[in-house]
Structure 1
Amino acid sequence: MISYWQGRCPISDISDTELLRASHIKPWKDCETDAERLDVHNGILLSALWDAAFDKGLVTFKDDGTPRFSSRLSAPAMSSLSGHSKRISGLTAGHKENLIWHRDQVFNP
């Protein structure tokens, strides 16, 4: 995933490897096969804060890569996330298919 996303979070541009997480769009427990679990199109390289928010359904992404935030976020969290974000470019059809799943199954508006 580091190679695919060129070693940086596509939202925040953070490139410190200690702060990056291979964030699965569809969690391992919900994948039907190992191939699905390891598919590069089932992941986004996110900074730790973005990864935590994404995993907990506090943020998701539209098909064009624009972040969509949950109303459950506190004002400071919303400020931190929205103030340091941009649209993800380079999403493939596979990413978009998995993001539809994420929006339907994980995201809590």
Structure 2
Amino acid sequence: MSLLTIPLPFFSYSDGKEEYKYHVSQQGIDVKLFFVETNLEYNRFFAWGSTLKNNNNNDVIIIRLLSRDDYRASYSARFYVKTKSLNKNTLDISIAHQMKLLIKRNELQPIALLSDQEQSAANDIAVINADETIRETEKKRLISARIGQGKYRSDLLMEWQGCAVTGCTDEALLVASHIKPWSRSTNEERLDPNNGLLLVATLDKAFDRYLISFNDDGTILISKAFKDYALVGITSDIKIKTKQEHAKYLVDHRQQFENLQAI
């Protein structure tokens, strides 16, 4: 292997699921890893000469950056390292692998803190990816549904034509929201468009927190804890266009809503 010649101090790679960005300097290499499906971003600076751990928990010392084949390929940007436990032999470790190893060991945290809702989604997606009983095609559909994208979102856009409450049609403001929460739904229910409402972001948040709910006929229910509901455009005479297929999901949401009213 020979030293990697980098024409620019910055380059990146993305395969649709993960995106790696590298900035190389005389001091070391700054790496940013972004997971597309979970919207998680990690950053790590690897200084030349710093000590890491490999898979076998052996100390490895970063010597320099190497390339195997094309440096633009996913895992070919690699550290050239020295280990103390292998008779000081040298080997290489991919940057991508080292980043994932640090994340797995909880030694590397996301750059930005996630909201509870975002963290919940990230955890659910991790569970889906780890489930070997689910086919890859179904995993993709479930992940898209969990983040309110893909076919699930398209189905809701076709069904509702806009926000179920306000009628807003600006897709940038619309959220594909599950009626029966993801955590209590089967995989079939998670993909069922009848288990979904299309709402503007403010109303989606209110619905998710059980500040509002709906009867089977679509009339709105407003929580006693929601004091400022009028400030976000909610009135007690709101009624959405529901179908019979929504009823089994609405009853679940209403039950949680009513439980909170009794507290």
Cα 1:60–1:84 change in 2 (3 A) is closer
1:64 is matched with which residue?
A: 217
Structure 1: unaligned runs, 5 residues or longer: none
Count of matched residue pairs: 105
Which is strand-richer, 1 or 2? Answer: 2
8 Å contact kept, 1:11–1:85: no
More relative contact order in 1 or in 2 (CA 8 Å, sep 6+)? 1
SS at match of 2:233: helix
Give, in angstroms, the shift of residue 93 of structure 1.
1.8
8 Å contact kept, 2:157–2:198: yes
Give, in angstroms, the shift of residue 85 of structure 1.
7.1
Identity of aligned residues (%): 37
Give me the TM-score of the superposition, normalised by structure 2.
0.37
Greater CA radius of gyration, 1 or 2?
2
Q: 1:52 aligns with which of 205, 208, 216?
A: 205
SS at match of 2:250: helix
Cα 1:85–1:45 change in 2 (3 A) is farther
Give me the TM-score of the superposition, normalised by structure 1.
0.85
Provide, for residues 42-62 of structure 1, a one-character-per-residue CA deviation record: whole Å limited to 9, x for no partner.
001011111000000000001
RMSD of aligned alpha carbons? 1.9
CA distance in 2, matches of 1:73, 1:47: 17
Which is helix-richer, 1 or 2? Answer: 1
Q: 5 Å matches for 1:80-99?
A: 80-83=232-235, 86-89=238-241, 91-99=242-250
CA distance in 2, matches of 1:68, 1:29: 23
1:42 is matched with which residue?
A: 195
SS at match of 2:234: helix
1:14 is matched with which residue?
A: 168
